[in-house]
Amino acid sequence: MRITDTKKPEKQLDEEIVRLLAAGQALSALEIQQTLESKKRSFSLKGIYLAFEKLQAEGLLKKYKKKVSLDPLGVAEQFMFWQRAYNNQLSKIEYTMNLEDGEEEKLEFFTIQSYMPHVNEVYLSLIKNAKEKKLYEWVPFVWFHLASQDTEQKFLKLVEATNCQFLRIIGADGWLARLLARHWDARGSLWSFSTSPFHKDMEKFFGVVDDFIVETRITPELRAPLANLYKNITGPDDLDISAITQTVTLPSRIKLTIKRNAKEAAALKKKFHYYFALSV
């Protein structure tokens, strides 16, 4: 297993992961990586996924049951999902970087909680290899990103670190827009709250980096409970955190398509340039 922190033996990574999970919070590999980095311990994301596989193969529950308090069913389900996510989804992200013009890759996620870190990793991978350091994004459903606010804030910090300009148009108004504007204040970024110029694309999210387009579609069954989270809410103090947590873990089908289409990407970027009064 490749670990970027050569001072820490592999066993300590295994134990760190178990301790974090035993604290009672469901964490993605990206969140585990960021938590360890905050403690000045650096491990590669791939190394963390491989650690999941190793712990599972070696009998995680039997090995650590005297050291930590774990929910056997919950942990087993987390590891099974992570292993499937890495093998079937994250491994494809590297391939998408080599897409030819006109080609596309389709992925599918089953909760917002699993989708958000992965789509952010796709964006970050594209940005790091981009000729034009700009990310354009259309977000028609403001509550979708608000429900994943913690993940969103971490993503914004990572985007800012790449010196990439972020141009985002969000379908929102009122107090939600003001709340997001305050949380999403990032250097070198432009934000706008309006359905124009993408008022016809209210059923999908998309982002553009160079010639790559990242599209997301969610089912009506998921949009309805998300919309209900903010029905009759007059301000941030009325938000039900437990309801948000329950909703972002609802079983659902979120379809993600990554495609390379120079002509379509140029047309979409042109709309952003016109909207923000930027020179091409």
Tell me the pLDDT tens digit for each residue of 70-118: 555 555 555 556 556 555 666 677 777 889 999 998 888 777 777 877 8
What order of strands is seen across the sheet that includes strand 134-139? Answer: 104-109, 254-260, 212-218, 205-209, 134-139, 165-170, 189-193
Contacts of 240 (CB under 8 A, 6+ apart): 229
Identify which has the larger pLDDT, 262 or 229: 262
Of the pLDDT bands very low, low, confident and very high (cuts 50, 70, 90), residue 203 is: confident
C-alpha 196: how far from its chain's center? Answer: 25
CATH number of 103-275: 3.30.870.10
> In whole angstroms, what is the distance from residue 137 CA to residue 126 CA?
13
The pLDDT mean for the chain works out to: 74
- Looking at residues 198-218, what average pLDDT do you find? 87
Tell me the pLDDT tens digit for each residue of 112-171: 777 877 888 889 889 988 999 999 999 877 665 555 666 777 787 788 788 888 898 887
Give the pLDDT confidence score for residue 156 in this predicted structure. 78
3-class SS of residue 73: helix
Peptide bond into 72 cis (omega under 30): no
User: What's the pTM value of the predicted model, to 2 decimals?
Assistant: 0.66
Neighbours of 98 (CB within 10 A): 8
Domain borders along the chain are: 10-80, 103-275
Q: What amino acid is encoded at 42 in this protein?
A: S
Give the pLDDT confidence score for residue 1 in this predicted structure. 27
- Looking at residues 21-41, what average pLDDT do you find? 74
Identify which has the larger pLDDT, 258 or 63: 258
